[in-house]
Amino acid sequence: MSKKINVLLVDDSAVVRQVLLAILSDTPDIHVMGAASDPIFAMDKLAREWPDVIVLDVEMPRMDGITFLKKIMSERPTPVVICSSLTPKGAETSLQAMAAGAVEIITKPTSGLKNFLLESAPELVAAIRAAAQVNVRNLGKRPAPLTPATKLSADAVLPAANGHAMAQTTERIIALGTSTGGTQALEAVLTALPRVCPGIVIVQHMPEKFTASFAARLNSLCQIEVREARNNDRIHPGLALIAPGGKHMMVTRSGAFYHVQVVDGPLVNRHRPSVDVLFRSVAKFAGRNATGVIMTGMGDDGARGLKEMLDAGSTTAAQDEASCVVFGMPKEAIKLNAVQRVIGLQEIAQVILHR
């Protein structure tokens, strides 16, 4: 029998601790080794036993979650799942936590908390399982959705191309897809780019309301402009558009220019936005004018879409295992023979600039 995942819960809400403990205690491969109402009590527990995964609130008394997280990452890097409120302040603080090395975000409302957490149990369990598989050597080095009954493909949003991709032109676009560990990886890539670079479209698996804060944070750090995509935004050099949480983003072409469509739709590969949806649209409308890179993340979203990009003449690459927090998505793309080059995180910026 495989080893259980030892989890420590740190949240100042007694309701949250009670509900999470009940949910996780019913999950056969997870063991809750303890629950603490704040980081000070948590440190007492850590002195006796160290967990595989920590589920952490970010707004707590005595010591805030960010300070605690930075202490953990400096002493003994450990996968941390952030449990954050769906508020602007909660989103901003959670993104600080992701930048410090947290690997997943689970959202919680300000009211109806107990029922929400019960309904979100599959999402929480999946986040903990994903966190338990991360490469802890890559945590903190650099400054999740409900599960449907059926796992849908990109066909549910956009039909596959039925003809040849358009001829190669001088205007290129870059498509990046990432999930667990992607916030840190995207920061490393985008901050390395000069002001003049090809237009970039990005899917980062992230909850609704968090992507705008994430884009704004990157925009403050980068030479290029970074923002959350709006429907019909034009893709142009020096701009990176991030798909909004809870929406799919697709590339289309109008005359001589590329634009994005931001649309509703079902979960694809259990995600919305989905990397497969983005990559398929790039294959269909950009073909040889595009470069696709699949980066750190759990699962297989993006693997089939990257293969479609390769078949349409796009340049394709995958982040290597050594630099990934989770090698799942790149590994699946490599298995499908969708990848021309396997590269380290520090090489991705050069691929964007020079193919």
User: The domain that contains 20 carries what CATH number?
Assistant: 3.40.50.2300
- The arithmetic mean of pLDDT across residues 19-38, rounded, is 92
Question: Which of 85, 94, 205, 314 does the annotation list as catalytic?
Answer: 205
Residue 201's contacts (CB-CB under 8 Å, 6 or more residues apart) are 173, 174, 175, 176, 229, 235, 240, 241, 243, 249, 251, 260, 278, 282
Residue that terminates a domain, selected from 138, 167, 187? 138
State the average pLDDT for the chain.
Answer: 88
Q: How confident is the model at residue 216 (pLDDT cuts 50, 70, 90)?
A: very high
196/342 same-domain check: yes
| pTM for this prediction | 0.83
CB 279 within 8 A of CB 269: no
Parallel, antiparallel or unpaired: strands 257-263 and 234-235:
antiparallel
- Residues 121 and 158 placed together within one structural domain of the fold: no
Is the per-residue pLDDT at 1 higher than 60?
no
Domain assignment of residue 228, yes or no: yes
pLDDT, greater one: 83 or 296: 296
Is residue 200's pLDDT more than 90? yes
Instruction: Answer whether residue 344 shows pLDDT above 90.
Output: yes
Catalytic residue, from 11, 271, 301, 323: name it. Answer: 301
Looking at the fold, whether 103 and 216 belong to one and the same domain comes out as no
Q: Is position 301 annotated as part of the catalytic site?
A: yes
Tokens 């870059």 locate to 174
Q: Taking CA 43 as the corner, what is the angle to CA 39 and CA 45, rounded to the nearest 5 degrees?
A: 115
pLDDT tens sequence across 227-285: 999 999 999 999 999 999 999 999 999 888 999 999 999 999 989 999 999 999 999 99
For residue 149, being part of any structural domain is answered with: no
Q: Which of 138, 163, 187 is the last residue of a domain?
A: 138
Q: How many structural domains does the chain have?
A: 2
Write the pLDDT tens digit of every residue in 71-93.
999 889 999 998 877 666 777 88
In a domain, 71, yes or no: yes
Is 179 a residue of the active site? yes
> Is there a contact between 337 and 346 (Cβ–Cβ < 8 Å)?
no
Q: Considering only residues 201 and 166, tell me which one the structure prediction assigns the higher pLDDT.
A: 201
Q: Which residue's entry shows tokens 């380290």?
A: 344
Range of the domain at 346: 154-354
| Structural domain contains residue 247 | yes
- Same domain, yes or no: 133 and 162: no
Kindly name the residue from 179, 274, 281, 323 that is annotated as catalytic: 179
Domain final position from 138, 168, 202: 138
Provide the pLDDT confidence category of residue 297 given band limits of 50, 70 and 90: very high
What confidence score (pLDDT) does residue 142 get?
A: 47
* 144 inside domain: no
Rg (CA), the chain: 20
What phi, psi does 251 have (nearest 5°)?
-95, 140
Evaluate if residue 341 carries a pLDDT over 70: yes
pLDDT above 60 (res 64): yes
Question: How many Å apart are CA 295 and CA 351, to the nearest integer?
Answer: 13
> Beta strands 257-263 and 248-254: pairing type?
antiparallel
Tell me what pLDDT residue 355 has: 76
User: Who's near 337: CB < 8 A, 6+ residues apart?
Assistant: 307
Place of tokens 């508020």: 87
Q: What does the pLDDT look like over 109-127, one tens digit per residue?
A: 766 777 877 788 888 898 8
Q: How much is the pLDDT for 15? A: 87
Asked, as a colleague might, if the bond just before 61 is cis with ω within 30 of 0, I would say no
Q: What pLDDT score was predicted for residue 141?
A: 54
For residue 101, what pLDDT band results from cuts at 50, 70 and 90?
confident
DSSP category for residue 312: T
In three-state form (DSSP H/G/I as H, E/B as E, the rest C), the secondary structure along 146-198 is CCCCCCCCHHHCCCCCCCCCCCCCCCCEEEEEECCCHHHHHHHHHCCCCCCCC
Alpha-carbon dihedral 238, 154, 307, 178, rounded to 10 degrees:
50
**How confident is the model at residue 96, as a pLDDT?**
85
Can you tell me whether residue 322 is helix, strand or coil?
helix
Contacts of 170 (CB under 8 A, 6+ apart): none
- CB within 8 A of 296, min separation 6: which ones? 178, 179, 180, 181, 182, 185, 319, 323, 324, 325, 326, 327, 329, 330
CATH number at 183 reads 3.40.50.180
- Alpha-helical (H) ranges within the chain are 14-25, 39-48, 65-75, 88-100, 113-119, 121-132, 182-190, 211-221, 275-285, 303-311, 328-335, 348-354
CA distance 323 to 317: 14
- In this structure, the answer to whether residues 112 and 30 fall within a common structural domain is yes
Check: CB of residue 66 under 8 Å from CB of residue 37: no
Separation CA 338–CA 354 (nearest Å)? 20
